[in-house]
Amino acid sequence: MDNETQSLEAIINNNLSGRDLDEFNRIYYGRKDNYEIKFKDSSIAAAKDGDFEIAAYAFPAKKEQTRPPRIVKVGIIQHSIAVPTDRPVNEQKKAIFEKVKKIIDVAGSEGVNIICFQELWNMPFAFCTREKQPWCEFAESAEEGPTTRFLKELAVKYAMVIVSSILERDENHAEILWNTAVVISDTGNVIGKHRKNHIPRVGDFNESNYYMEGNTGHPVFATRYGKIAVNICFGRHHVLNWMMFGQNGAEIVFNPSATIAAEAGSEYMWNIEARNAAITNCYFTAAINRVGYEEFPNEFTSADGKPAHKDLGLFYGSSYFTGPDGVRCPGLSRTRDGLLIGVLDLNANRQIKDRRCYYMTQRLDMYVDSLKKVLELDFKPQVVHESDKKEKC
């Protein structure tokens, strides 16, 4: 990873200063001042010791007359796998638990209220291999599996809501697999789960070989700290997925992801999609991507004419928050484990809705009619030809 660029943020901060830096920050992030927040000395020491990055930024709202501020401390964690992928399944999982627990401990000590990890945080992203074994053995019960059990304890210890994206084994339905986000309450109960709605079929991302499109709709989880939802990975390309979480009242939507920098990869889109979702839906978004390289025991191909290979290329991290006004904070690095904390005043959402009127002006009735027509097998797109015009005259 030594050759990898640390981050777009590092390029900017190493080269720009003064007015140029201010103007870049204003045009790119949406504000000159990042509202950076300091960590405790103990957290700084723990991060150094555990070799992970920590950063925190505030997203304040205006003071209101009739509501107190609704300030929530939200953490997102990005990390690489912990031991090689040829080690036994349970050993791989346990090593990730140990490593991530150190980051959760810092989040807990900083008073984080809600935390979310990357997609399938407790395993390597093995779907590139198209092999079923041993990767399917990473699957667990959402409610009772070892990962949920591990997290329940931490949720209670830190009074923290935890969003955990795992490979789910649905034991009540013929033991099939799902890509599932489990939401664990600060009381240690599983509030509910959401299954990934949109499944990729592209390049190394052969996920539709393992699980199907989710059947849980667009649930919003009413936690003690706010209403949250989870748009899992590939769903970030789908504007309707983001939209339905907004219609259901989500205040923060997490996008736990696993996405790579390789050619025709997603990196230049990463800073666009979750941010656009925050803007158009007037809610906070948190985009979280894993980091590092994952080498697998056996060769696989990308279906792009390239030679067989054993890893996907860099998972580029770069996790970040965006506010409902579209202002974002700097992202975590492209290469290191990290904890990013957003101190969010959820009052901002309604303030922005009132100001910009995007929901009020969205003409949903027109679109329901139009999209219903698109679904018809004999749908005729609304195309105007010059000859139509002439014939009409």
> Any idea which residues carry the catalytic annotation?
119, 196, 233
Question: DSSP 3-state assignment of 359?
Answer: coil
173 sits near a second copy (criterion: CB under 8 A): no
Which listed residue (276, 293, 350, 353) binds a second copy by CB under 8 A?
Answer: 276
The first and second tokens of residue 145, run together, are 């599996």
151 sits near a second copy (criterion: CB under 8 A): no
Residue 21 is which amino acid? L
Write a three-state SS string for 82-102. Answer: CCCCCCCHHHHHHHHHHHHHH
Q: Which of residues 32-91 bind a second copy (CB under 8 A)?
A: none
Question: DSSP 3-state assignment of 339?
Answer: strand
Q: Which of residues 175-204 bind a second copy (CB under 8 A)?
A: 183, 185, 187, 189-192, 197-202
308 sits near a second copy (criterion: CB under 8 A): no
User: Closest separation between CB of residue 252 and a second copy, Å?
Assistant: 14
Task: In whole angstroms, give the CA distance from residue 100 to residue 356.
Answer: 39
User: x-or-dash pattern for a second copy, window 9-28, by CB under 8 A?
Assistant: --xx-xxx--xx--xx-xxx
Which listed residue (146, 247, 309, 350) binds a second copy by CB under 8 A?
Answer: 247
Asked whether 322 and 254 are in contact (CB, 8 A), the reply is: no
Number of residues that bind a second copy (CB under 8 A): 89
User: Closest separation between CB of residue 147 and a second copy, Å?
Assistant: 18
Of the candidates 200, 199, 198, 168, the residue with the CA atom closest to the CA atom of residue 181: 168
User: Closest separation between CB of residue 98 and a second copy, Å?
Assistant: 29
Which listed residue (86, 144, 269, 306) binds a second copy by CB under 8 A?
Answer: 269
The first and second tokens of residue 294, run together, are 């994952």
User: Closest separation between CB of residue 137 and a second copy, Å?
Assistant: 27
Looking at the Cβ atoms of 83 and 159, the one nearer to a second copy is: 159
385 sits near a second copy (criterion: CB under 8 A): yes
User: Closest separation between CB of residue 234 and a second copy, Å?
Assistant: 7
Among the listed ranges 35-43, 92-100, 335-343, 385-393, the one in contact with a second copy (CB under 8 A) is: 385-393
Asked whether 273 and 318 are in contact (CB, 8 A), the reply is: no
Which listed residue (119, 273, 311, 337) binds a second copy by CB under 8 A?
Answer: 273
Among the listed ranges 72-80, 134-142, 167-175, 368-376, the one in contact with a second copy (CB under 8 A) is: 368-376
249 sits near a second copy (criterion: CB under 8 A): yes
Residue 320 vs residues 27, 70, 131, 332, 338: alpha-carbon distances, Å: 17, 21, 32, 7, 11
Asked whether 101 and 52 are in contact (CB, 8 A), the reply is: no
User: Closest separation between CB of residue 243 and a second copy, Å?
Assistant: 7
130 sits near a second copy (criterion: CB under 8 A): no
221 sits near a second copy (criterion: CB under 8 A): yes
Of the candidates 344, 340, 295, the residue with the CA atom closest to the CA atom of residue 7: 340
Task: In whole angstroms, give the CA distance from residue 391 to residue 393.
Answer: 6
- The values of phi and psi at residue 145, to 5°, are -70, 170
Among the listed ranges 33-41, 118-126, 169-177, 367-375, the one in contact with a second copy (CB under 8 A) is: 367-375
Of the candidates 255, 286, 295, the residue with the CA atom closest to the CA atom of residue 165: 255
Task: In whole angstroms, give the CA distance from residue 184 to residue 381.
Answer: 45
1 sits near a second copy (criterion: CB under 8 A): no
